[in-house]
Amino acid sequence: MAYLAPARPAPARTRSTVRAALGRGRRVVYLWRRLKHAFSGRETPRAGIRADGAVPANVTVFDDGFPAVTNLDAALLGALRDAASDAAVDGVGFVVNSGWRSPQYQERLLLEAVWTHGSERKAARLVATPGTSAHVSGDAVDLGPAEATAWLSEHGARYGLCQVYANEPWHYELRPEAIVHGRPPMYADPTHDPRMQH
Ligand SMILES: [Zn+2]
């Protein structure tokens, strides 16, 4: 070991720098473990997010490669595909901005909304809990663009596809009775929906 410089006692500043670095290291390891837990059983975080129901841009109701689409209730998906086929004749395409979501993904959306809007009450107007969301049960889809939702507001009831909340023109659910009776009245927002009361 002749090539090493003679050992000198480390100055105090170096020791505290080392301690701070160790502290940071422990925090990084802790966060890494939390992240690994959140995505456990997934190949990569990106695949995990997709498996949770996130969708990239321009996914249509016909795309079978996305759990957000394929985990929708079969009757809802069938009605969406029937409607989209007819809308395509009018030059209108349906894009799925959100469909089925895992409970974990819904929880993340709710936490984001609480963070953004500052209170759980305000967040509840926009995002349901994992236990109450019609997205988690596969019974709701958020569609775009505006031409698609405009087409659906005119023709959707014929397929049982109904806007449920006045403040969410993109959120559609299946109401088979609408085929005969027309769209049922909308709730002003999700807080008025009895399904969201528990
Ligand atoms: Zn929705």
CA 107 to ligand 1 center in whole angstroms: 14
CA 172 to ligand 1 center in whole angstroms: 7
Question: Are residue 131 and residue 71 in the same domain, yes or no?
Answer: yes
CA 133 to ligand 1 center in whole angstroms: 8
Report helix, strand or coil for 16. helix
Provide CB contacts within 8 A for 124, sequence distance 6+: 190, 191, 196
Residue-level pLDDT at 43: 47
CA 141 to ligand 1 center in whole angstroms: 6
**Which whole-number Å values give the CA distances from 161 to 11, 15, 112, 154, in the listed order?**
72, 66, 28, 10
Question: Are residue 90 and residue 34 in the same domain, yes or no?
Answer: no
Which tokens sit at 96? Answer: 């799925």
Give the environment of ion ligand 1: residues with CB less than 5 A.
140, 142, 171
CA 89 to ligand 1 center in whole angstroms: 26
Locate tokens 């659910």: which residue? 173
Provide CB contacts within 8 A for 86, sequence distance 6+: 155
Does 4 reside within a domain?
no
Residue-level pLDDT at 3: 55
Q: Looking at the 3D structure of the chain, how many domains does it have?
A: 2
**CA-CA-CA-CA torsion for 188, 189, 194, 198, nearest 10 degrees?**
-160
Question: Are residue 58 and residue 136 in the same domain, yes or no?
Answer: yes
Question: Are residue 116 and residue 169 in the same domain, yes or no?
Answer: yes
Residue-level pLDDT at 11: 60
Question: Are residue 69 and residue 116 in the same domain, yes or no?
Answer: yes
CA 161 to ligand 1 center in whole angstroms: 13
CA 127 to ligand 1 center in whole angstroms: 8
CA 142 to ligand 1 center in whole angstroms: 5
Report helix, strand or coil for 165. strand
Predicted TM-score of the model (pTM): 0.75
Per-residue pLDDT of the chain (198 residues; tens, 9 = 90+): 445 555 565 566 666 766 676 666 665 665 565 455 555 545 455 666 789 999 999 999 999 999 999 999 999 999 999 999 999 999 999 999 999 999 999 999 999 999 999 998 888 878 899 999 999 999 999 999 999 999 999 999 999 999 999 999 999 999 999 999 999 999 998 889 999 875
CA pair distance 92, 101, nearest whole angstrom: 25
Question: Are residue 118 and residue 30 in the same domain, yes or no?
Answer: no
Question: Are residue 39 and residue 125 in the same domain, yes or no?
Answer: no
Residues 155, 158, 164, CA angle at the centre, nearest 5°?
75
CATH number of the domain where residue 61 is located: 3.30.1380.10
CA 197 to ligand 1 center in whole angstroms: 17
141: domain range?
A: 53-196
Which tokens sit at 99? Answer: 């469909």
CA 21 to ligand 1 center in whole angstroms: 44
Report helix, strand or coil for 90. coil
Residue-level pLDDT at 37: 52
Report helix, strand or coil for 70. helix
CA 41 to ligand 1 center in whole angstroms: 27
